[in-house]
Chains A and B, each alone.
Chain A
Amino acid sequence: MEVIKLEEVSFSYNGVPALRDISFSFNKGDFIGVVGPNGSGKSTLLKIIDGILIPEKGNVLFKGKPVKSYTRKNLAQEIALVPQNFNLDFSFTVGEVVKMGRYSRRGGRDLIFNLSNLLDKLEISHLEKRLFPQLSGGEKQMVVLAQALAQQPELLLLDEPASHLDISHQLKLFQLLKQVNQEGVTIFCVIHDLNLALLYFGKLLLLSEGRLVSFGQAEDVLNSKKVEVIYGVKTFVHRHAGRIFLTFSPRYTGEEKAKIHVVCGGGTGSFLIRKLVDLGFQVSVGAINALDTDEVTGRELGLSMAVEAPFTAITKEVFEENLRLMEQADLVIFTDVPLGFGNIKNLEAIKEAVKMGKLVWVIEGIEKRDFTGRAKEIISNLPGISYFSKIEEMVEKLRKWEK
């Protein structure tokens, strides 16, 4: 059954548009997250659904009837809102504040309400006699949630309920919301943190500049392209331990930065690669085995790489691919990856890079991490290599580096 249906809803604050032609609907029992940049209209959308704001154009229907046809009292029995900002400087006890949520059901005997059960459920029973203004930000947020749940609504709207909560309370809150949802309450929750949104919500609604960009499965809504366009940051999708999460880099500013080729492996390059991407360099990687930690990092960041099959020594083809990538680079970096018979060809590639006249930076102590005994012979008499003791030193130098 459709709980909420919006039909081409527009709203503006004194002529500044906040929502434009929004249409969507959701059903009883849904568990939906709402995401979007600051000022995209998320809070406005909640207030429109709750009838606090009246749309300039379009209709908002709750259970098939216009929201504005309900009295405030009747609507408060059906829809509860947990606001983002909640101020109450008056010394009411937590119990009294929560009971204010019963206002719309005053005098009614249709539903059983037990204050201590509710407080138990939210694990705030110990706060019942405390004065509200003396609580911490996180505690206040839980109390306001309790006040909203005291309305015993069918639809619960939340505006960033986790913004003041530490990680353990965040987990508890979302578990609680899932539980409330299983008891039949529809949840529509504005959430700022995209990774939290991916973690807890199967269905997401993405807003941008007052427009509905996308509404559907979380993974489809928050794909890296959409996030990049809407939030204006470079976005990378990672999969780890069965979960999807996003990381971000500052967006490419249009200024041409140098191309850097990183020769690495075994996780020695991951930190550097990410750092270089964040700094705005164009990064390539090679030669490297598939499924190597550095290879996974490079793949998730969408870099060009010379990749060999897993657990295989570098073949001629990949070696040559590596050289091609080096040729395009302004700087070649060789990390402190240990050298065995599988990847000794990478050192030969470094030699080629020097011959090409490339700038080459290497972490010192090559002979110490060489297990083939050939390293010394390969790089002896090679002028033009700059040695560094740590990756961090390279990063520091690159920060100041201009093409």
Chain B
Amino acid sequence: MWLEKMSSESRLKVIFIISILLFFFLSFSVSILLGPSPLSLREMKKALLKGPSTSTAASTIFWQIRLPRVLLAFLIGASLSLAGAILQGLFLNPLADPYVTGVSSGAALGATFAFFFHLPPIPWLSFFAFIGGFFTLIFVYFLARRKGIVNIYLLLLGGVAVSAFFSSLIAVLMVKAGKDLHALVFWLMGSFSGRSWADVKLSLFAFPLLFASFFFVDELNIFLQGEERALELGVEVEKVKKILFFIASSLTAVAVAAAGIIGFIGLVVPHISRLILGPDHRKVFILSIFLGASVMGLSDLCARVIFAPSEMPVGVVTSFFGAPFFLYLLRKKRSFSGSY
């Protein structure tokens, strides 16, 4: 067989790629099939073949409820993981996740305003969230800029401070929210509950960003040698930092606008990817996207089946499973913290 003709190293590579893809498609299928009212494989096949126009219960569940929700979960999982991978590389800091830049808090604040004024979620809540995130991005960016140079530490610390400030504003609004409090808290903790094709369409903005990030993998690898060395090797450091910060922040803003604040995925998935494949950002990015998407899909599945028919915020699931798994990895592999 062709597999036997390869060197053991490349054979391992092929097996690895196949198993990742398998995991990806398996998670996707399971997420589609299972839920408060499960679909059988046959029902799914029928719904797929007949298209979205038929009005059987199975077809409606498949086309109007499950598919957009799962697609959105996969897309947001990929976006958050990639944003985390970019920011960890940019900040050279293992603690970086998509939320350190303060963009998520800005987005959450925007969304809270939308709640507060009872605006319809589509498009206003998402729009407010995105605008909130985007302006925070600009604010933090200029906060960290001195004489045309962006100081990475100022970016990080500025993000943390802005985050704390916005959180306090959100808390004030929550106190004033009254009967909307429950919905607001649920939204802030992150959920894909009730998401439709309209949400998917808004989030498609993340797609070009996912692809664009791959143009900068060489630069991120070189950044691991320090910014000065990157200059010496010919990297336009300030430009690349600006673009990558913009990509990561926009991905985060899109994710928060679509699903609230879902923790831990953006921190853990890039770490796991790096642990498996080493520090090369090309590999880390690819694996983060596939792994992040699959894990988010499965987490959302858990969120809707565990206490069915009522739902949990998906952020609860990711943190509940993610944190212990992360600790396990930290203990198991000592070199882990050293490799980032």
A73, A77, A88: residue with the most chain B Cβ atoms closer than 10 Å: A88
B279-335 interface (Cβ within 8 A of A): 279-280
Q: Is B231 an interface residue (CB 8 A)?
A: yes
A-B contact pairs, 11 of them (CB 8 A): A52-B232, A73-B234, A73-B236, A76-B232, A76-B233, A86-B229, A87-B225, A90-B278, A90-B339, A91-B279, A100-B221
A81, A100, A104, A151: residue with the most chain B Cβ atoms closer than 10 Å: A100
Chain B residues near A81 (CB, 8 Å)? 232
Which 5 A-B pairs give the minimum distances between C-beta atoms?
A: A76-B234, A104-B234, A90-B279, A73-B234, A81-B232
Q: Is A267 an interface residue (CB 8 A)?
A: no
Give 1 or 0 for each of A31-75: 1 = CB within 8 Å of chain B CB: 000000000000000000011100000000000000000011111
A92 to B218, CA, bound (A): 13
A83 to B233, CA, bound (A): 11
B225, B229, B232, B340: residue with the most chain A Cβ atoms closer than 10 Å: B232
- A88-B224 in contact (CB<8A): yes
A102-123 interface (Cβ within 8 A of B): 103-104, 106
**CB contact between A92 and one of B221, B234, B237 (< 8 Å): that residue:** B221
**CB contact between B234 and one of A88, A91, A103 (< 8 Å): that residue:** A103
A87 to B310, CA, bound (A): 52
B242-298 interface (Cβ within 8 A of A): 278-280
Q: Is A286 an interface residue (CB 8 A)?
A: no
For A51, give the chain B residue with the smallest CB separation.
Answer: B231
Chain A residues near B236 (CB, 8 Å)? 71-73
**CB contact between A103 and one of B226, B233, B279, B340 (< 8 Å): that residue:** B233
Chain B residues near A147 (CB, 8 Å)? 233
- B218-A103 in contact (CB<8A): yes
- A100-B225 in contact (CB<8A): yes
**CB contact between A106 and one of B218, B225, B339, B340 (< 8 Å): that residue:** B218
Chain A's nearest CB lies how many Å from the CB of B268? 19
Q: Is A327 an interface residue (CB 8 A)?
A: no
How many A residues, CB 8 Å from partner? 28
Chain A residues near B235 (CB, 8 Å)? 72, 103
Chain A's nearest CB lies how many Å from the CB of B21? 25
Q: Is B4 an interface residue (CB 8 A)?
A: no
Q: Is A263 an interface residue (CB 8 A)?
A: no
Given A72-B234, A91-B278, A96-B221, 19 other A-B residues pairs in contact with their CB atoms under 8 A: A50-B232, A51-B231, A72-B237, A74-B234, A76-B234, A77-B234, A81-B232, A83-B228, A86-B229, A89-B339, A90-B279, A91-B279, A91-B339, A92-B221, A92-B278, A92-B280, A96-B280, A103-B218, A104-B234
A81 to B232, CA, bound (A): 7
- A90-B224 in contact (CB<8A): yes
A73 to B240, CA, bound (A): 13
A50, A89, A90: residue with the most chain B Cβ atoms closer than 10 Å: A90
- B278-A52 in contact (CB<8A): no
Chain B residues near A142 (CB, 8 Å)? none
Q: Is B338 an interface residue (CB 8 A)?
A: yes
Q: Is A205 an interface residue (CB 8 A)?
A: no
B138-155 interface (Cβ within 8 A of A): none
- A92-B233 in contact (CB<8A): no
B213-229 interface (Cβ within 8 A of A): 218-219, 221-222, 224-226, 228-229
A101 to B235, CA, bound (A): 11
Q: Which bracket fits the contact residues of B?
A: 20 to 34
Q: Is A146 an interface residue (CB 8 A)?
A: no
Given contacts A88-B224, A89-B338, A100-B221, contact A83 B279 (CB under 8 A): no
Chain B residues near A52 (CB, 8 Å)? 228, 231-232
Chain A's nearest CB lies how many Å from the CB of B242? 14
Chain B residues near A91 (CB, 8 Å)? 278-279, 339
Binding site for A on B (CB under 8 A): 218-219, 221-222, 224-226, 228-229, 231-237, 278-280, 338-340
Chain A residues near B280 (CB, 8 Å)? 92, 96
Q: Is A149 an interface residue (CB 8 A)?
A: no
Chain B's nearest CB lies how many Å from the CB of A138? 19
A186 to B338, CA, bound (A): 38
Q: Is A155 an interface residue (CB 8 A)?
A: no
Given contacts A86-B225, A88-B224, A91-B278, contact A100 B231 (CB under 8 A): no
Chain B's nearest CB lies how many Å from the CB of A83? 7
Q: Is A80 an interface residue (CB 8 A)?
A: yes
- A88-B218 in contact (CB<8A): no
For A104, give the chain B residue with the smallest CB separation.
Answer: B234
Chain B residues near A72 (CB, 8 Å)? 231, 234-237
Chain B residues near A71 (CB, 8 Å)? 236
Chain A's nearest CB lies how many Å from the CB of B119? 46
Chain B residues near A101 (CB, 8 Å)? 233
Chain A's nearest CB lies how many Å from the CB of B339? 6
Chain B's nearest CB lies how many Å from the CB of A188? 14
Chain B's nearest CB lies how many Å from the CB of A67? 12
A71 to B239, CA, bound (A): 12
For B221, give the chain A residue with the smallest CB separation.
Answer: A100
Chain B residues near A87 (CB, 8 Å)? 225-226
Chain A residues near B339 (CB, 8 Å)? 89-91
For B224, give the chain A residue with the smallest CB separation.
Answer: A90
For B222, give the chain A residue with the smallest CB separation.
Answer: A100
Chain B residues near A74 (CB, 8 Å)? 234
Chain B's nearest CB lies how many Å from the CB of A103? 5
Given contacts A86-B225, A92-B221, contact A100 B278 (CB under 8 A): no
Chain A residues near B218 (CB, 8 Å)? 100, 103, 106
Chain B residues near A96 (CB, 8 Å)? 221, 280
Chain B's nearest CB lies how many Å from the CB of A37? 23
A267-322 interface (Cβ within 8 A of B): none
Chain A's nearest CB lies how many Å from the CB of B272? 16
- B233-A104 in contact (CB<8A): yes
A276 to B219, CA, bound (A): 59
Chain A residues near B224 (CB, 8 Å)? 88, 90, 92
Chain A residues near B222 (CB, 8 Å)? 100, 103
For A50, give the chain B residue with the smallest CB separation.
Answer: B232
For A92, give the chain B residue with the smallest CB separation.
Answer: B279
- B278-A75 in contact (CB<8A): no
Chain A's nearest CB lies how many Å from the CB of B228? 6
Chain A residues near B233 (CB, 8 Å)? 76, 100-101, 103-104, 147, 151
Given contacts A91-B278, A103-B218, contact A83 B232 (CB under 8 A): yes
A377 to B229, CA, bound (A): 77
- A88-B232 in contact (CB<8A): no
A71 to B231, CA, bound (A): 10
